[in-house]
Amino acid sequence: MKKLLFQKQWGWRTSGIGLGIIFVLAVAIIKPIGVSTQFVILDGAIWNIFSNEIIVENSDTKSGYSSPNAYLNKSGGKYAKNAANLFNYSFIFVVAMVLGGFIANRLTPTKGGNEDLFAPPVWRNQFGASPFKRYFAVFLGGILALIGARLAGGCTSGHMMSGMMQTSLSGYLFAAGAFAAAVPVAILMYRKGK
Amino acid sequence: MNIFIAVILGSLFGFIMHKAGATNPQIIINMLRLKNLHLMKAILLGIGISNLALFLLLATGVVDPLHVSVKSSYVGVIIGGVLLGIGWAISGFCPGTGVIAIGSGRKDALPFILGGLVGAFIYMLVYEKLVGSILLDKLGGKTTLAVTGNENFPALFPDVPGIVVAGIIAIVFIIIAWMLPEGDNA
């Protein structure tokens, strides 16, 4: 047990068993794990601060909320409702993930090699040590990843892990698309390696 | 109560993903370059184990089939997967690992999350125009391979018990996980 808590990185068997357990636990107790929807929920909540009209209470819809934005209004205003009330299961789950990462890192903090926290070695070998270049690329990567995840209706957690666990056809289609693009891009982009 | 469960399960998920190395872009990028398949083996094993466990729990009635939640298959699932794959390869993060990496102290996680919020916002703005386009055209709907016992989700093999189909898939995943070479760290 102690070893599991303080080992910097688990072997692939321990990691795989851990991942298997948490994905089943989530669906057994509440529902499958998903992350990318919460980016929309946080966007909606921020938009709601600046506008009085973007999320309105509406007793005619299934959720009791509606929005002039077609996406927030989708499925009976489900997203609008969650954006208006961030204290809900799915959003708190994602916030708690930050806590999990914090605790895991606290038990075995990264020593030295602080520049690795700005950009991984494979990036620095190819594109140099400037953090800003890395931040810009990562920002663009984030834009693409979330447009993609929202178009697909889920990300690596929701589609690939939770989806394939339930033998969903959509999980397999998503994984095929993601790896078919990610592998050649990574190989071409990081030719120098390390 | 649900909020309390969310805190426990969310933290546990973040903890396990970090320990598995999934929050480290170096490990992700080298997995995608097919140079170090350590994480790939873990993911395949994780899918295999959860596949088997979930369908065992469904078959024995421990898990309510109503907890199963299958996403729809449509053209955008593949195109979206491609876009996510490009962003994943460039950054070394996917939406979940980017969130966890904020907690684990990576400096490059914040620009990823900010980009993610911008990307999700762009999608919110264009969604209305996509409705009715080929991108949202059905390509199988909410189908599973194995019978889940939830009537909302039709199975591709309706006459075979779910645990048999899921069990075969699980065994294939676990065997592949075992056989893949771990690779070096380069």
Do residue B73 and residue A169 have CB atoms under 8 angstroms apart?
Answer: yes
Q: Inter-axis angle of helices B95-103 and A131-152, to 10 degrees? A: 130
Q: How far is residue B98's CA from residue B83's CA, in Å, rounded to a whole number?
A: 16
Cα-Cα-Cα-Cα dihedral sign, residues B121, B126, B131, B137:
negative
Q: Which of A59, A88, A109 is the last residue of a domain?
A: A109
Is residue A10 one of the residues assigned to a domain?
Answer: no
CB pairs under 8 A between A and B: 509
What does each of the 186 residues of chain B score in pLDDT, given as a tens digit? 899 999 999 999 999 999 999 999 999 999 999 999 999 999 999 999 999 999 999 999 999 999 999 999 999 999 999 999 999 999 999 999 999 999 999 999 999 999 999 999 999 999 999 999 999 999 999 999 999 999 999 999 999 999 999 999 999 999 999 999 987 643
Same domain, residue pair A120 and A170: yes
pLDDT beyond 60 at A112: no
Among A144, A162, A183, A194, pick the best mutation site for testing chain B contact (most B Cβ within 10 A): A144
Taking CB atoms and an 8 Å limit, are A167 and B140 in contact across chains? no
Spatial CB neighbours of B14, under 8 Å, sequence gap ≥ 6: A96, A97, A98, A99, A100, A101, A102, A103, A104, B99, B100, B103
In a domain, A8, yes or no: no
Residue A101 lies in a domain: yes
User: Among A10, A147, A179, which would you mutate to test the B interface (most chain B Cβ atoms within 10 Å of its Cβ)?
Assistant: A147
Which residue among A91, A109, A127 closes a domain? A109
Is there a single domain that holds both residue A78 and residue A119? no
What single-letter amino acid sits at B167?
G
Q: A180 and A124 in one domain?
A: yes
Task: Look at A28 and B19 and tell me if their CB atoms are within 8 Å.
Answer: no
Examine residue A165 and state whether it is found in any structural domain, yes or no.
yes
Q: How far apart are CA A189 and CA A178, in angstroms?
A: 16
**A89/A128 same-domain check:** no
Does the residue A77 lie in any domain? yes
A172 in the same domain as A123: yes
Task: Say whether both A128 and A192 belong to one domain.
Answer: yes
Name the minimum distance, in Å, from the CA of B126 to any CA of chain A: 9
Query: Is A174 in contact with B81 (Cβ distance < 8 A)?
Result: yes
Contact A145 B116 (CB under 8 A): yes
Residues of B in contact with A7 (CB under 8 A): 19
**Does a structural domain hold residue A23?**
no
End-of-domain residue from the set A109, A142, A177: A109
Residues of B in contact with A150 (CB under 8 A): 80, 119-120, 123-124, 127
pLDDT score at B126: 97
Q: Are B110 and B102 in contact (CB under 8 A)?
A: yes
User: Do A96 and A125 share a domain, yes or no?
Assistant: no
The whole-number average pLDDT for the span A48-73 is 96
Contact A74 B5 (CB under 8 A): no
- Based on the domain organization, do A94 and A160 belong to the same domain? no
What domain range is A36 assigned to? 31-109
Q: Same domain, yes or no, for A35 and A100?
A: yes
Query: Do A100 and A165 share a domain, yes or no?
Result: no
H or E segment and range at residue A66: strand A65-66
Residue A7 included in any domain: no
Instruction: Give the contacts of B118 (CB within 8 A, at least 6 positions apart).
Output: A139, A142, A143, A146
- CA of B159, closest CA in chain A: separation in Å? 16
- Are the Cβ atoms of A187 and B62 closer than 8 angstroms? no
Residue A2 lies in a domain: no
Structurally, how many domains does chain A consist of?
A: 2
Closest to A122 measured CA to CA, from A49, A168, A21, A191: A191
Write the pLDDT tens digit of every residue in A135-192.
999 999 999 999 999 999 999 999 999 999 999 999 999 999 999 999 999 999 999 8
Same domain, yes or no: A93 and A147 = no
User: Which chain A residues touch B18 with a CB distance below 8 Å?
Assistant: 100-101, 104-105
Mutation for A interface: B7, B60, B97, B108, most A CBs within 10 A: B108
Please check whether residues A87 and A150 belong to one and the same domain: no
- Residue A115: pLDDT band by 50, 70, 90 thresholds? confident
The nearest alpha carbon in chain B to A13 belongs to: B42
